[in-house]
Amino acid sequence: MRSTFALFVMTLIVIATGLAVYSALGIVRNSDDPAAGTAVTAFGSALKQHDGARACALLSSGTQSKLEDERKKPCREAILEVASDVKPGDSVTRVDVAEMSAFVTTSRGPTFFLDKDGKAWKVSAAGCTKQAGDAPYSCALQS
């Protein structure tokens, strides 16, 4: 009887320790990732230089496809048509990362949503603005 109780207590300790470690790793993994902000800055730079091919390379494949479908043009041409609606502000002011998604806010500009694609961050929604109340963001470009 005593060994069963001891085994039960040890099992609870192992589970509690595992949950604590998992939570700690989750907090670390959900911290800011400057690479997401760098991707938004690179996207803005490409748009300022009218480099549609480079800007499109920073978009998720779903966002590229939707843009091409809507504009009936290759991404490298279509992105330049919507550049004024999706161009980031002067600098990144906030980066929030949760698992494989990021939320990037820019100064005097729109907000961006990104997805992790392998080791790189790709823009999945651009030119986003907060709506009134609890309404979701409205984005000029999204997948």
Q: In the chain, what are the domain boundaries? A: 32-142
Q: Residue 109 belongs to what H/E stretch?
A: none
Predicted confidence at residue 2, as pLDDT, reads: 57
The pTM (predicted TM-score) of the whole model is 0.77
**What is the domain class of 32-142 according to CATH?**
alpha beta
Q: What is the pLDDT of residue 20?
A: 45
Instruction: Identify the bridge partners of residue 98 per DSSP, sorted by sequence position.
Output: 101
Residue 108's pLDDT is what? Answer: 81
- Amino acid 13: pLDDT: 52
Query: For residues 4 and 42, what is the distance between their CA atoms, to the nearest angstrom?
Result: 60
Report mean pLDDT in 10-residue bins for the chain, 143 residues: 52 47 46 87 96 97 96 97 91 93 91 94 96 90 93
Predicted local confidence at residue 15, as pLDDT: 54
pLDDT at 14: 44
CA neighbor of 58 nearest in space, from 125, 105, 111, 104:
125
Longest dimension (CA), the chain: 76
pLDDT at 133: 87
Q: Report the pLDDT value the prediction gives residue 90, as an integer from 0 to 100.
A: 84
